[in-house]
A = this chain, B = another copy of it.
Amino acid sequence: MVLEQFVDIMRPAIEKELQGTLDLHLSKSLPELYGMLAYHMGWEGEGAGPEAQGKRIRPLLVLLCAESAGGDWRCALPAAAAVELIHNFSLIHDDIQDRSELRRGRPTVWAKWGVAQAINAGDLMFSLAHLSVLRLRESCAENFVIEAVQLLQKACVHLTEGQYMDMSYETRREITLDEYWPMVAGKTASLLATSTRLGALVAGCEVNRQEAFWDYGYSLGLAFQAWDDYLGVWGDPSVTGKSIESDLLTGKKSLPVVYGLSQRGKFARRWLEGQIRVDEVAQLAQWLKEEGAQEFTRATAEGLTNQALKSLNRAASKGAAGDALYELTKMLLQRDN
């Protein structure tokens, strides 16, 4: 449980760094605007607290990678805050795009303040992320700071490309695996890969090793999403904390669904007929299982996790922080929420 010890030390430091970014740059004369961001980050308002803050996986990855690559994790805090702010900017805008009224059991920003203010709050969070990473100047050489800014901006381009694909798939009943993976790469893997590489960058690794850390985060991101998709069909809603709705109800083109469609069996026939009803969900999940989608999704997530661990090995992550990364990687796949 070496991971837990790191989390206990790093989590408060991450929250402090995040709050510092807001305090430093945001005009105190605009308490309501500040309040929107603080609410979304889980610090203020009804239901505030650790539950509302999420797991902060991305900043933890930055810090653990920095430490395991031989750096001092404290120097990587501005980068850690930056990736978490980018993640949260994208959540604020995602919620508007998906018309989701709840996130982690609380009303979303747009549900509370309206679409117009929520778009703007997301834009502000985005800018703050990039101001945060610039604080690396205090501990890093200038060329490394510029590299970090560039990595982060490229991740944002990939994020919006992935989001574009995701939204354009909504208007279709069917997509292929070749269309699924670039969407997940953009939406999830790219920012995780950026997180792990930023850690290596701040630690001063040469490019080859930075790339190994990137590969680690990238595979981890794909594995994470594959497993998320698994839970979206076969997870227990009371454990995942997601709404009672199975991914089968929302029409999400998740990995099991995309695989199931390729099998052209009972599942595909029913799916292509249109919207699934609540009373059909159990039957469709069963058909998917019988047609191999459960086994395929699990095997894919496991294969990607092994690939991630191999890259982590190649990155020569060291010490207790390296052990914590192994633990985190395995935990993400064994999680039931």
Interface residues of A (CB under 8 A from B): 25-27, 29-30, 32-33, 93, 96-98, 115-117, 119-124, 126-128, 130-131, 134, 137, 142-143, 145-146, 149-150, 153-154, 156-157, 159-161, 163-165, 167-168, 182
CB contact under 8 A between A153 and B168, given known A96-B119, A161-B30: no
Question: Which residues from chain B contact A157 at a C-beta distance below 8 Å?
Answer: 25-26, 124, 127-128, 131
**Once the chains bind, are A123 and B161 in contact (CB under 8 Å)?**
no
Question: Which residues from chain B contact A182 at a C-beta distance below 8 Å?
Answer: 29
Q: Which of B25, B120, B123, B160 contacts A120 (CB 8 A)?
A: B160
> CA of A27 to CA of B25 in the docked complex: distance in angstroms?
33
Q: Would you mind naming 27 contact pairs between A and B with Cβ atoms under 8 Å apart?
A: A26-B161, A29-B182, A30-B161, A30-B164, A32-B164, A32-B168, A33-B160, A96-B115, A97-B115, A97-B119, A115-B115, A117-B167, A120-B164, A120-B167, A123-B126, A123-B156, A123-B163, A124-B161, A124-B164, A126-B156, A127-B153, A128-B157, A130-B130, A130-B156, A142-B145, A145-B146, A146-B149
> CA of A126 to CA of B152 in the docked complex: distance in angstroms?
12
Q: Which residue of B lies closest to A125 (CB)?
A: B160
Question: Which residues from chain B contact A150 at a C-beta distance below 8 Å?
Answer: 131, 134
**Once the chains bind, are B127 and A160 in contact (CB under 8 Å)?**
yes
Question: Which residues from chain B contact A161 at a C-beta distance below 8 Å?
Answer: 26-27, 30, 33, 124
> CA of A143 to CA of B145 in the docked complex: distance in angstroms?
10
Question: Which residues from chain B contact A33 at a C-beta distance below 8 Å?
Answer: 160-161, 164
**Once the chains bind, are A120 and B163 in contact (CB under 8 Å)?**
yes
